Chain A
Amino acid sequence: MANTKVSMTINGRAVSAEVDTRTLLVHFIREQIKLTGTHVGCDTTQCGACTVHVNGTRVKSCTIFACQLDGAAVTTIEGLAKGKQLHPMQEAFREHHGLQCGYCTPGMVMSAISIAERYKGKALTEDAVRHELEGNLCRCTGYHNIVKAVIAGAKAMNAG
């Protein structure tokens, strides 16, 4: 076993820990930092339930080693709300019921925020949302309300 020390910020909080080099970011976040909002769905880089932002970019946290992220800024689903005030994208998922069992939701919301950022100032169509959600699988909803939520959330985010 090879260990290495890693320091990063998670949701703005500085964290520093000794990790086995094999530790995937998602396991670091869930098991060492104890933030369990980020989910492991498939563990094979397909489902996107583990999506988080690394330095502002959405990535699958099951497919990057924690030790690669020394000095990085990571945002997880727990870092979005301000106290009891939901992030506009979370609010849109609630309002449009963009979920059923909720398992894929943290990854969906993290992807949705990236989509809104990518399409800032550009028209965001339903087709574009479906295409941009190819890296996030939902086995309950058929995506219909998720797509509605993403469009509404992006509108709210980009209105300001």
Chain B
Amino acid sequence: MYAFNYHRPSSVAEAVKLLKSSPDGRCLAGGMSLIPTMKHRLASAADLVDLNGIKELAYIKRDGDALVFGALARHVEIADSADVKKSIPALAALAASVGDPQVRNRGTFCGSLCFADPAADCPAGLVGLNGTVLTDKRRIAADKFFNGLYETTLEKGEIVIGISFPIPEKAGWAKFANLASRFAIAAVMVAKTGGEVRVAVTGAKASVFRVPEMEAALAKNFSAAALDGIKVSSTDMNNDLHGDPDYRAHLVGVMAKRAVQTAMG
């Protein structure tokens, strides 16, 4: 691992200041992706700004028509939260499917978004549920947050402080996991929110993506049968030892149907 200076700010303002004054600073939340990557020397930072001391970022709450949580909301807390289970059970199910119990005890939803791993679950949660990423200076719509493989549209020194989700009428999560890593080989979040239907897929391409044909079919008829006959193109799909592009394209169809079935209860 490359050397770094460690900082533990107690406020967002202090964290922003630390990041801005560093030539190459990074935030550390749960560390479940960043630390293993740093160990492999695939990531490095001159300054590591640990957000874990910022108490104002550790919350999950229902706020009117939205479910909101802070950058330190951990997967286990999201999975166990009565507010999440009541408002968006599919989000609780997604959080419960991340990694393993020890990883869920530390890992955060927002941290996973920022890392933008192509096989991570949380990006599909953000895009499928049409959440809004809250940073120290702006709100970023779900469709504007990711910028391809391991990249986001965050600016240098910008810190994600939380996320806000509208409450869907229906939502479902289905994941085909790699049994060793528990990362998604293909996973789908389907949600119907205020008349709009979204189908977001993770694990299958370089970054999370939506499937417009499925969304149009489900908007007319929200049932698994509505997806019959819709073929997802395997163009640009990941090709690795876990599955080739055709296999993944097929899995996306299967997972989308299962997600709809879950959403229907």
Contact = CB atoms under 8 A, between A and B. Distances in A.
A21 B4 contact: yes
A20 interface: yes
B32 A63 contact: yes
B126 interface: no
Interface string B1-37: 1011110100000000000000000001001100110
B99 A63 contact: no
Contacts of B3: 1-2, 20-22
Interface string A105-144: 0000001001000000000000000001011100000000
A51 interface: yes
B100 interface: yes
A2 B4 contact: yes
Interface in B193-243: none
A153 interface: no
B50 interface: yes
Contacts of A136: 100
B6 A60 contact: no
Contacts of A57: 105
B52 interface: yes
Given A4-B6, A51-B102, A135-B103, 16 more contacts: A2-B5, A21-B5, A21-B6, A22-B3, A58-B102, A58-B105, A59-B102, A60-B106, A63-B31, A64-B35, A64-B106, A65-B6, A68-B6, A68-B28, A134-B182, A135-B100
Interface of B: 1, 3-6, 8, 28, 31-32, 35-36, 39, 48, 50, 52, 99-103, 105-106, 180-182
